[in-house]
């Protein structure tokens, strides 16, 4: 698969009065053309900051400190702001969690869509209107011509989220970053939106980065999954391997702490004890060690290297249990033949 995006050793910090918050601390991954990659992890682990760093939209007092973000061979972190503006909207666009905060309440849907289209492409006013209707059709909004005259508050939550998606798609970007696009929506609407993303991906060949903490949503849409914990990627791999042979105790925890709808009998949930660390002073060694049932001496002292789980290197994990000298853990299957 041809890579569209290649992120290397990305580091982003917030310089607050209390000190440096290392929100993203050395993150590397790729997104192939036409692929959906999911970023999962608990609140505060750095998912949104990762996405905002790719687009260079980090607010004060934050700063991208290091790394590279290559899109089609160009490092976005080195572009001039003017060139970057062109990238946002034309190459990469973003859908946010709460559509109400990103739609302008005093402008009609039509005005906002046409503006988004005209900002990035030189088209006549009535052409822009036709394109706006087209994009609303693409996201399956019924009677789109009537919707153009409506204001955001006149639409339901699911409909607003689809308008946001229409805006993001209006310029045919190569990559859409969807940051928790369904979190505030009902499951029925969530299913509509996910289904829609799948269809559009198939029809247009665009790539998607999907940020979520819902492992279920990921299972149906993503081809690859990135598991983040406390500003770092702890596991990374093809979706099936992440669910079938997860290697990191944090990934196990995420999978075991939610009940499955299709569970045939009651089993007690297995929580992850404690809570994620304060990124002002993350724990030494493996950042997960204070919550890990398998923590060893080495885990408290040294960070675990990010190692391949199997031969092809597609599935990687940062955990000392991978070390040949580590003790065996019950129920843990290490790797599969490549």
Partner 1 sequence: MSVGGGGNGEILVRVENLKKWFPVAAAGLSFAAKREWVQAVDDVSFEIAKGETLGLVGESGCGKTTVGRTVARLYEPTAGKVVFDGQSIYELPAEEMRQVRRKIQMIFQDPYASLNPRMTVGDIVGEPIDINRLATGEARKNRIFELLETVGLNREHASRFPHEFSGGQRQRIGLARSLAADPSFIICDEPISALDVSIQAQVVNMLQDLQEKMGLTYLFIAHDLAMVKHISNRVAVMYLGKIVEVADGYELYAHPVHPYTTALLSAIPIPDPGVEEERRRIILEGDVPSPINPPSGCHFRTRCRLAQPVCSEKEPELVDRGAGQKVACWVT
Ligand X SMILES: Nc1ncnc2c1ncn2[C@@H]1O[C@H](COP(=O)(O)OP(=O)(O)OP(=O)(O)O)[C@@H](O)[C@H]1O
Q: Contact residues for ligand X (CB under 6 A)?
A: 14, 16, 21, 23, 41, 43-49, 59, 62, 213, 279
Binding of Mg ion at residue 48 (CB under 5 A)?
yes
Cβ–Cβ under 8 Å, residues 10 and 50: yes
Q: Which of 97, 104, 96 is nearest to 151 (CA)?
A: 104
Binding of partner 1 at residue 218 (CB under 8 A)?
yes
Q: Which of 27, 109, 177, 272 binds partner 1 (CB under 8 A)?
A: 272
Binding of ligand SF4 at residue 215 (CB under 6 A)?
no
Smallest distance, Å, CB 318 to ligand X?
A: 17
Smallest distance, Å, CB 40 to ligand X?
A: 9
Binding of Mg ion at residue 182 (CB under 5 A)?
no
- The residues pairing with 3 across neighbouring beta strands, listed in sequence order, are 32
Binding mask 224-263 for partner 1 (x = CB under 8 A): ---------------xx--xx--------xxx-xxxxxxx
Window 302-331: residues binding ligand SF4 (CB under 6 A): 304, 319-321
Smallest distance, Å, CB 212 to ligand X?
A: 9
Q: Which of 299, 309, 315, 316 binds ligand SF4 (CB under 6 A)?
A: 299
HSE on the CB side for 140, CA within 13 Å?
10
Window 258-297: residues binding ligand SF4 (CB under 6 A): 286, 288-289, 292, 294-296
Under rule CB under 8 A, how many of the chain's residues touch partner 1? 49
Write out the residues near Mg ion by the rule CB under 5 A.
48
Binding site for ligand SF4 (CB under 6 A): 248-249, 286, 288-289, 292, 294-296, 299, 304, 319-321
């Amino acid at each position: 698969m041809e890579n569209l995006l290649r992120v290397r050793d990305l580091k982003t910090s917030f310089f607050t009065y209390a000190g440096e918050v290392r929100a993203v601390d050395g993150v590397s991954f790729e997104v192939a053309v036409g692929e959906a990659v999911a970023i999962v992890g608990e609140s505060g682990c750095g998912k949104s900051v990762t996405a905002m760093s790719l687009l260079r939209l980090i607010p004060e007092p934050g700063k991208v400190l290091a790394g590279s973000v290559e899109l089609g061979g160009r490092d976005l972190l080195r572009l001039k702001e003017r060139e970057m503006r062109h990238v946002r909207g034309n190459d990469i666009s973003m859908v946010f969690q709460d559509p109400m905060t990103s739609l302008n309440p005093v402008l009609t849907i039509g005005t906002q869509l046409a503006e988004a289209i005209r900002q990035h492409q030189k088209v006549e006013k009535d052409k822009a209107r036709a394109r706006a209707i087209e994009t609303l059709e693409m996201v399956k909004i019924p009677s789109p011509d009537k919707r153009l005259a409506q204001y955001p508050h006149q639409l339901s939550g699911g409909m607003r989220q689809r308008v946001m998606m229409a805006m993001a798609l209006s310029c045919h970007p190569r990559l859409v970053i969807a940051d928790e696009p369904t979190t505030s929506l009902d499951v029925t609407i969530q299913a509509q939106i996910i289904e829609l993303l799948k269809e559009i991906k198939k029809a247009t060949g665009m790539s998607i980065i999907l940020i979520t903490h819902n492992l279920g949503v990921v299972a149906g849409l993503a081809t690859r999954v990135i598991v983040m914990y406390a500003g770092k990627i702890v596991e990374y791999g093809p979706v099936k391997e992440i669910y079938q042979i997860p290697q990191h105790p944090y990934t196990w925890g995420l999978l075991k702490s939610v009940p499955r709808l299709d569970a045939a009998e009651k089993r007690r949930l297995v929580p992850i004890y404690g809570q994620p660390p304060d990124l002002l002073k993350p724990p030494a060694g493996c950042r997960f060690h204070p919550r890990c049932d398998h923590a060893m001496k080495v885990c408290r002292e040294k960070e675990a290297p990010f190692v391949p789980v199997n031969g092809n290197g597609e599935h990687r994990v940062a955990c000392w249990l991978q070390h040949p000298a580590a003790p065996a853990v019950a129920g843990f299957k290490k790797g599969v033949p490549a």
